[in-house]
Homo-oligomer: A and B are copies of this chain.
Amino acid sequence: MILKSVSIDCVIFGFDGNSLKVLLSQNNPEETLKQLSEQDDYEDIKELYMEHPSLTDPRCWNVFGAHIPVDKDIDDFARELLLMATGMNDVFLNQYYCFGKVNRVPKNRVLTIGYYALINPAHHLIKKSIALNDLKWFKLDHLPKLSFDHGEIIKKALEHLRNEVRYKPIGFHLLPDKFTLTEFQTLYETILDKKMDTRNFRKKIAKMDLLIDTEEKQENVSHRAAKLYRFDEQIYNHLKAEGLKFRIE
């Protein structure tokens, strides 16, 4: 059984070293219905899909989402959705807003709770076996045609990301485990859409005493190899307890 009047949408952000992207799903109507017929709550979901042709409109792309089962906490279910879409379990995930305009979906009253996730696309596996849909990364400034208010949902997710990344060390989730300071700076320049001074940026990071020097360097690069660093959530929590203020802006 699902809650017909509430769904969850996960805006999945990735960073490939140059630009910020979202993972979107495109409808594949035949595949969707075939898969649905194998599931318990087929009738419920089928009814919803029939009422909303655009859910299965093959030209529209969607933020990855679904209706909430009655017996699942919303946070847990958002994680399940993420696992379906990315094959990843251990992901940064944050609820950011509930969209509840009467006409956000035509003909039916559906609220949606927006979550955003941050992943490193290099780690990401599309599990074909689960995917009802095609999945594809899009640059934020070249989004395709989207269903319903999904444009607004993405826009608002980005606003929240831009705000939170300045005060909380969540940006690391978009990077590989080991990363260079230049990658780190480029990430912030991309998200906040502004150039930063390299020396000042590095001084600020160094003073926080936050990153662990892995003693390793880049390999196979055609220029001076950069040092690789790690971020450790536990160390951050220690520092925070002692009064560290993380701020990059």
Contacts and interface: CB of A to CB of B under 8 A. Distances in A.
Interface in A76-135: 95, 97-98, 100-102, 109, 111, 113
Interface of A: 3, 5-6, 68, 70-75, 95, 97-98, 100-102, 109, 111, 113
B102 A72 contact: yes
Nearest to A8: B100
A100 B73 CA distance: 6
Contacts of A68: 100, 111
A98 B95 contact: yes
A203 B70 CA distance: 54
A193 to B, nearest CB: 16
Contacts of A109: 3, 70-71
Contact of A100 (B5, B97, B100, B113): B113
Nearest to A100: B74
B102 A73 contact: yes
Given A3-B6, A68-B111, A98-B98, 14 more contacts: A3-B5, A3-B109, A3-B111, A5-B6, A6-B6, A6-B111, A68-B100, A71-B109, A73-B102, A74-B101, A74-B111, A75-B100, A95-B98, A111-B113
Contacts of A100: 68, 73-75, 113
A119 B98 CA distance: 23
Contacts of A95: 97-98
A101 B101 CA distance: 23
A101 B76 CA distance: 9
Contacts of A71: 102, 109
A6 B99 CA distance: 12
A195 B71 CA distance: 46
A70 B113 CA distance: 17
Contacts of A6: 3, 5-6, 111
Nearest to A68: B100
A55 B181 CA distance: 55
Nearest to A110: B3
A70 B109 CA distance: 6
Contact of A101 (B5, B73, B113): B73
A218 to B, nearest CB: 37
Contacts of A113: 98, 100, 111
A8 to B, nearest CB: 9
